[in-house]
Structure 1
Amino acid sequence: MNLQLDPALNETENADALQGQLEQHDLVRLLLADRRSENTRRAYAADLNDFFRFSFRSLPSPEYVRQFLNLPVSEMTMLLFRYKANLMERGLAEATVNRRLAAVKSLVRFARRIGLTDVVLEGRVVGERIRPYRDTTGIDGALARELVNSIDTTTLVGKRDVVLLLLLLENALRRAEIVALRVGDYEAEKGTLSITGKGRGTQKEIVRLSPRLQQALRDYLSASGHAESVTAPLFISLSNCHRGQALTADGVYKIVRARAKACGIRKPISPHRLRHTAITLALDLSQGDIRRVQRLSRHARLETLRIYDDNRQDLQGEISETLSRYLSEGESSKSV
């Protein structure tokens, strides 16, 4: 944003002039540019588009954004309440409702930072209460092993896909982390990958690869022919239409689904379910060592891994069976 001060104007006049220049700017574009993560920018754009379609029957043009920000706090709050009710009527998940409300609040908060409104929405419209990470189910270890070993690695597609699956199952990478990888992120001498982790902005995290994965990665890069270009995407599409282009998040999802189906796995499988599989299997193999597995999962909070551990052990199911046995024994002794 290139705002201009006029040396011929005093401080108050310059402030008014800057305010006018800001109002002419596309505030949504400025908000998105203020976010580092491409995934966050994409989600915010979609959510704000949805809000303005509901509120103004239009995309968020500078004019409609200005109209929204000029609303009194009571009208702005009521509009957000009506939007929340609409989201719930559409049957959207609680997390989606909360994310869309958060996008609108972020727009207002950003506008307040640069002096376009003094409205504070925090605490006025509260999101839905959710329990994150309720479903941590994946597939068992034997199926995971079969899924990897079922791939024909004599083809370039097979060489690529086995590396993808191993990154999900051995290093518990997220889909967005995989598609962001570049050839230069792999350090062959150290056997490591530099990844852009969730919530870390542009800061890189180092993950160590197993000898098997290192060999699979070298085989893939050697066969693909793009190992010398450090800025090239690590994973490329091998389809006729998009050959050589960066593999997208949707592409990773389709590869995982297709490989699971070809392996005879009936349960719907996604990249994130394979990440769940890796974390749960790691807890099994480490006898529930949550702190060690946190290094693999890179979850910020240990409480998240405790949910994985509880689901893995099925503590509720075990205690329910104990109660059932006790109650059944009571009935037996009573009948005697």
Structure 2
Amino acid sequence: MEWNLAINNFQEYLLLEKGLSQNTQLAYVRDIKKLQTFTLQDHSVTPYNINRFSIQDFIYDFAKKSSSAKSQARLISSLKSFFKFLQVEGKRQDNPAELLESPKIGLYLPDVLSHEEVMAIIQSIDLSKPEGQRNRTMVETLYGCGLRVSELINLRLSDLYFYDNFIRVTGKGNKQRLVPISNWTIKFITLYRDSIRVHVNPKPKCEDVLFLNRRGGKLTREMIFIIIKNMAELAGIKKKVSPHTFRHSFATVLLKNGADLRSIQQMLGHESITTTEIYTHLDNKQLRDTIEKYHPFSISKT
């Protein structure tokens, strides 16, 4: 009972005080519930009296089941936030997770698609079906504007400012930003909106949502992932492709063509430019690959 109450209060804090997105809130809550499950063997252990040794045991147990350093680092971050919250609320005097050390995470370089691969995916779409035109428009929007999947499914008709070549995007923490949109992408959104979506009867509260499923409801994140995965397989793309891959590809192609990091940061909605700087590493990787492939010293070694 005490765990459930503390976790519910923590989730409200993440929403109201921190303004985190629903997906981030759920990720934090899932992590804390793992600790709750771990403590079920001893009913005397509550979130208010658990000590750092028990938490360390939990971390070790989790590490044996998950080899991913990224998952372990996120779990530790969730624990620190949870117990810091209990401190702020006056429920604890200490933070038993404060001294936990996160595993070092190597630089994560996401897969990106070349422009030719993006076009191959688009060309694999069956445009004879209404959902085909919708799916193409979603890909064009993901790749043309660098949106997150949550931003795509929440895009609204009232967010389209085509006269000014901008769309309004609601990102993490419900923060809004204006993202420039090309005439090319506008063309496909307009075509979908005026020739496909107009024939779909929106469900209540979905009247303003841009991308709808066949029943007039809002598409889910999971549905977008499935659609994108099927497209990539149909196009013969061997890379691991998700909606986020188009976002990475958007940023990478801008950087390669001379866009500055600050502009890319604003378009992607990154709070810190250090997040955007990963794309400079992607570019450097391409440079290293070029040296290995084309420099005579490298060639002579093979």
Give the TM-score, by structure 1 length: 0.75
Q: 1:320 to 1:27 in 2, by over 3 A?
A: same
1:308 aligns with 2:287: no
Deviations 1:60-100 (A, max 9, x none): xxx87x723123xxxx1111111111121113411211222
Deviations 1:236-292 (A, max 9, x none): 223xxxx22211111111111111122222323111122222222222222x64344
Local SS of the residue matching 2:131: helix
1:39 aligns with 2:26: no
Segments of 5+ residues of structure 1 without an aligned counterpart are 1-22, 330-336
Question: Alpha-carbon deviation of 1:32?
Answer: 0.6
1:264 aligns with 2:243: no
What letter matches 2:34 in structure 1?
D
Give 1:111's aligned residue: 86
Question: Alpha-carbon deviation of 1:318?
Answer: 5.0
Tell me which moved more, 269-278 or 318-327: 318-327
1:147 equivalent among 121, 126, 136: 121
Question: Alpha-carbon deviation of 1:323?
Answer: 8.9
Local SS of the residue matching 1:26: helix
For 1:80 and 1:24, the matched residues in 2 are separated by: 15
Q: 1:283 to 1:227 in 2, by over 3 A?
A: farther
Question: Alpha-carbon deviation of 1:321?
Answer: 6.8
For 1:57 and 1:190, the matched residues in 2 are separated by: 60
Q: 1:227 to 1:292 in 2, by over 3 A?
A: farther
For 1:100 and 1:118, the matched residues in 2 are separated by: 22
For 1:269 and 1:263, the matched residues in 2 are separated by: 11
Q: 1:328 to 1:211 in 2, by over 3 A?
A: closer
1:49 aligns with 2:30: no
1:217 aligns with 2:193: no
Greater gyration radius: 1
For 2:299 and 2:291, the matched residues in 1 are separated by: 12
Local SS of the residue matching 1:235: coil
Segments of 5+ residues of structure 2 without an aligned counterpart are 16-20
Give 1:193's aligned residue: 167
Question: Alpha-carbon deviation of 1:29?
Answer: 0.9
Question: Alpha-carbon deviation of 1:191?
Answer: 3.9
Local SS of the residue matching 2:46: helix
What letter matches 1:98 in structure 2?
A
Is contact 1:179–1:246 with CA below 8 Å preserved after alignment? yes
Question: Alpha-carbon deviation of 1:304?
Answer: 3.9
Is contact 2:167–2:180 with CA below 8 Å preserved after alignment? yes
Q: 1:289 to 1:214 in 2, by over 3 A?
A: same
Q: 1:277 to 1:25 in 2, by over 3 A?
A: closer
What letter matches 1:309 in structure 2?
T
Give 2:56's aligned residue: 81
Question: Alpha-carbon deviation of 1:176?
Answer: 1.9
Question: Alpha-carbon deviation of 1:316?
Answer: 3.7
For 2:114 and 2:299, the matched residues in 1 are separated by: 32
1:254 equivalent among 196, 221, 226: 226
Deviations 1:10-42 (A, max 9, x none): xxxxxxxxxxxxx79812111111223111221
Give 2:145's aligned residue: 171
Question: Alpha-carbon deviation of 1:43?
Answer: 0.9
For 1:97 and 1:216, the matched residues in 2 are separated by: 42
Question: Alpha-carbon deviation of 1:322?
Answer: 8.8
Local SS of the residue matching 2:87: helix
For 1:57 and 1:245, the matched residues in 2 are separated by: 43
For 2:289 and 2:185, the matched residues in 1 are separated by: 36
RMSD: 3.1
For 1:97 and 1:28, the matched residues in 2 are separated by: 20
For 1:326 and 1:264, the matched residues in 2 are separated by: 31
Question: Alpha-carbon deviation of 1:108?
Answer: 1.5
Question: Alpha-carbon deviation of 1:308?
Answer: 2.0
Is contact 2:155–2:211 with CA below 8 Å preserved after alignment? yes
Give 1:69's aligned residue: 48
Q: 1:176 to 1:148 in 2, by over 3 A?
A: same
For 1:249 and 1:322, the matched residues in 2 are separated by: 41
Q: 1:149 to 1:211 in 2, by over 3 A?
A: farther
Tell me which moved more, 299-308 or 77-86: 299-308
What letter matches 1:146 in structure 2?
A
